[in-house]
């Protein structure tokens, strides 16, 4: 009887606690409903801004006592081709608040893109509200480019140290090399060798190792408060996938091409193959382009989605503003961050693994053709 | 290029062209008004150029013959689009018969080019 009463008490307490928690979240939401409308828009804009590339390396910003918006970070060089080369600092834009005047031309930032304008920075629109101003060719060193340079330097230093450590320690890795060596061996023994084959993997291993560490380091850099989102930039993933596409097709053997243009080989006479090939060959030819396309979309979409989810969860803290909502959002954001660290590795692994698989197709040599 | 393939190429083009011409006249259509000769001669000429290029590549840069085929087939399509589409669209209508005037010789040439590419690749 006593034990039954205790259980009943516990259930009642749990229900009461749940009701209190629910009420606190609901009340907090009702109170702040009016303000949260603006806040939600602000958070959405902040997330959109974070996902985009930038012309300066801003770390954070705050509003000072005078009500001015202060940005902490560094300006980056803007390089434009607009009837000649124009090079100037992004500080001229004052974070998009002013028009930059260079050699008598005026440029303004609109949705993080540079347009040529008049002295007042007027942007003209077409019927669909797209800017009609001239857009100069942009070769600027953006935040993403700086991040890539950083990763290149980091990789150079780390792997140089690793290489030196072998000489110093009599063929054994030392320092950071002890951490990197198992990963290098993993890429070689579990990605390159099984997919490309013992005979030809050495031809591709340099590229595979470079692409793996480059993507992994960039993904991890995206997890830091520096606010970079390089692998969530479709231009970057396009560039990486283009390299895989070029290497696959340039190194393709005759068997690779025969697999595309004569997939059935000598298994049946030509008149039987003809109707099948009318369907098969276009599919195989499309496959040449679809494979790298899937690589670029997979990496881009996964990293972009990860950033959006994480930033949205962090944004929830400011919307809930309650003793249960904010810690809950924080906990979720923390858990997702841990998953994102895994995703950072996983996406680098998948890109490398699939590149190796495509190289394996390209390097195949059969006896049956 | 093998003489066998070259003769087969001319024969198939002739047969397909004759059949196409016959069908058009049976339907009461004027082949000349559908740019029939331009389409067949143009496709025949470009296909010959491609086969010549494949033949040259087979001797000198065999690793690139598939690329040459892909590039030339794409270029052929784009060229025809640029040159013939304005003629077809001059009257403001692109009829089904006009579409067939272009695509029948185009795909005939494409099938032959692919067959020759496969033959070349198998000989590498």
Q: Are residues A126 and A165 in the same domain?
A: no
Beta-carbon separation of B121 and A252 below 8 A: no
Last residue of a domain, one of A90, A123, A138: A138
DSSP string, A4-54: HHHHHHHHHHHHHHHHHHHHHHHHHHHHTHHHHHHHHHHHHHHHHHHHS--
Give the residue carrying structure tokens 């006896």.
A367
Q: Are residues A312 and A274 in the same domain?
A: yes
% of chain A exceeding 70 in pLDDT: 89
Q: Are residues A346 and A230 in the same domain?
A: yes
Q: Does B114 touch chain A (CB under 8 A)?
A: yes
Q: Does A276 touch chain B (CB under 8 A)?
A: no
What's the mean per-residue pLDDT of chain A?
Answer: 85
Q: Are residues A175 and A124 in the same domain?
A: no
Q: Are residues A107 and A183 in the same domain?
A: no
For residue A356, being part of any structural domain is answered with: yes
Last residue of a domain, one of A138, A171, A200: A138
Phi then psi for residue B94, to 5 deg, are -115, 95
Q: Is residue B37's pLDDT more than 50? A: yes
Q: Does B27 touch chain A (CB under 8 A)?
A: no
Q: Are residues A131 and A147 in the same domain?
A: no
As for how many domains chain A has, the answer is 2
Q: Are residues A87 and A201 in the same domain?
A: no
Q: Are residues A234 and A311 in the same domain?
A: yes
Q: Are residues A188 and A99 in the same domain?
A: no
For residue A123, being part of any structural domain is answered with: yes
* ipTM of this predicted structure: 0.73
For residue A41, being part of any structural domain is answered with: no
Q: Are residues A81 and A199 in the same domain?
A: no
Within its chain, how far is the Cα of A86 from the centroid?
29
Out of A249, A252, A261, whose CB is closest to B114? A261
As for how many domains chain B has, the answer is 1
Do residues A356 and A208 make contact, with C-beta atoms less than 8 angstroms apart? yes
Q: Which pLDDT tens digit goes with each residue over A293-333?
A: 999 999 999 999 998 998 888 888 888 877 788 888 889 88
Containing domain of residue B63, as a range? 3-122
Containing domain of residue A118, as a range? 67-138
Beta-carbon separation of B66 and A369 below 8 A: no
Q: Does B117 touch chain A (CB under 8 A)?
A: yes
Q: Which residue on chain B is closest to A252 by alpha carbon?
A: B63
Q: Is residue B47's pLDDT more than 70? A: yes
Bridge partner residues of A60 (DSSP):
A72
Q: With residue A180 as reference, give the H or E element that holds it.
A: helix A176-186
Q: Are residues A102 and A166 in the same domain?
A: no
Q: Is residue B77's pLDDT more than 70? A: yes
Q: Which pLDDT tens digit goes with each residue over A220-268?
A: 998 888 878 899 999 999 999 999 999 999 888 888 888 898 888 878 8
Q: Which pLDDT tens digit goes with each residue over A287-299?
A: 999 999 999 999 9
Q: Are residues A284 and A167 in the same domain?
A: yes
Do residues A310 and A291 make contact, with C-beta atoms less than 8 angstroms apart? no
Beta-carbon separation of B67 and A262 below 8 A: no
For residue A24, being part of any structural domain is answered with: no
DSSP symbol at A125: B
Beta-carbon separation of B118 and A285 below 8 A: no
Amino acid B5: pLDDT: 72
Give the residue carrying structure tokens 């001229």.
A92
Q: Which residue has the higher pLDDT, A29 or B96?
A: B96
> Which range has the worst mean pLDDT, A33-47, A63-77, A177-191, B1-15?
A33-47
Residues of B in contact with A261 (CB under 8 A): 66, 114, 117-118, 121
Q: Which residue has the higher pLDDT, A11 or A111?
A: A111
For residue A11, being part of any structural domain is answered with: no
Do residues A348 and A215 make contact, with C-beta atoms less than 8 angstroms apart? yes
Last residue of a domain, one of A138, A161, A183: A138
Each residue of A146-158: b (16+ CB within 10 Å) or e?
A: bbbebbeeebeeb
Amino acid A316: pLDDT: 86
């Amino acid at each position: 009887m006593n034990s039954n009463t205790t259980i009943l008490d516990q259930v009642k307490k749990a229900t009461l606690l749940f009701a209190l928690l629910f009420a606190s979240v609901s009340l907090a939401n009702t109170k702040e409903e009016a303000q949260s409308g603006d806040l939600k828009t602000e958070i959405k804009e902040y997330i959109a801004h974070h996902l985009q590339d930038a012309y300066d390396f801003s770390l954070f910003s705050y509003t000072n006592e005078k009500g001015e918006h202060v940005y902490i970070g560094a300006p980056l060089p803007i390089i434009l081709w607009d009837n000649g080369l124009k090079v100037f600092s992004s500080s001229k834009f004052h974070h998009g608040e002013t028009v930059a005047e260079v050699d008598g031309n005026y440029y303004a930032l609109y949705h993080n893109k540079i347009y040529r304008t008049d002295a007042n920075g007027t942007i003209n629109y077409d019927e669909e509200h797209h800017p009609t101003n001239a857009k100069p060719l942009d070769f600027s060193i953006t935040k993403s480019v700086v991040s890539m340079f950083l990763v290149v330097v980091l990789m150079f230093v780390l792997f140089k140290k690793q290489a030196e450590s072998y000489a110093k320690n009599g063929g054994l890795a030392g320092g950071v090399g002890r951490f990197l060596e198992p990963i290098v061996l993993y890429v070689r023994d579990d990605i390159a060798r099984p997919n490309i084959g013992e005979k030809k993997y050495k031809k591709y291993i340099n590229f595979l190792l470079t692409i793996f560490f480059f993507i992994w380091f960039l993904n991890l850099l995206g997890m830091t408060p520096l606010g970079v989102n390089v692998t969530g930039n479709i231009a970057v993933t396009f560039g990486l996938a283009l390299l895989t596409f070029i290497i696959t097709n340039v190194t393709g053997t005759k068997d690779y091409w025969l697999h595309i243009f004569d997939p059935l080989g000598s298994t049946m006479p030509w008149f039987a193959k003809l109707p099948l090939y009318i369907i098969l060959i276009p599919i195989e030819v499309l496959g040449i382009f679809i494979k790298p396309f899937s690589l670029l979309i997979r990496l881009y979409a996964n990293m972009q989605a990860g950033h959006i989810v994480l930033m949205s969860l962090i944004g929830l803290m400011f919307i809930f503003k309650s003793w249960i909502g904010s810690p809950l959002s924080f906990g979720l954001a923390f858990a997702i961050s841990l998953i994102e660290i895994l995703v950072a590795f996983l996406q680098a692994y998948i890109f490398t693994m699939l590149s190796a698989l495509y190289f394996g197709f390209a390097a195949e040599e059969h006896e049956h053709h | 290029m093998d003489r066998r393939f070259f003769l087969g190429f001319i024969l198939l083009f002739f047969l397909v062209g004759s059949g196409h011409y016959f069908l058009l006249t049976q339907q009461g259509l004027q082949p000349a008004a559908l740019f029939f000769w331009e389409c067949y001669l143009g496709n025949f000429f470009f296909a010959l150029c491609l086969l010549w290029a494949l033949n040259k590549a087979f001797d000198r840069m065999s690793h690139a013959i598939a690329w040459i085929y892909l590039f030339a087939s794409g270029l052929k399509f784009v060229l025809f689009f640029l040159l013939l589409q304005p003629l077809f669209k001059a009257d403001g209508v692109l009829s089904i018969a006009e579409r067939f005037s272009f695509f029948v010789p185009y795909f005939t040439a494409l099938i032959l080019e692919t067959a020759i590419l496969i033959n070349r690749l198998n000989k590498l």
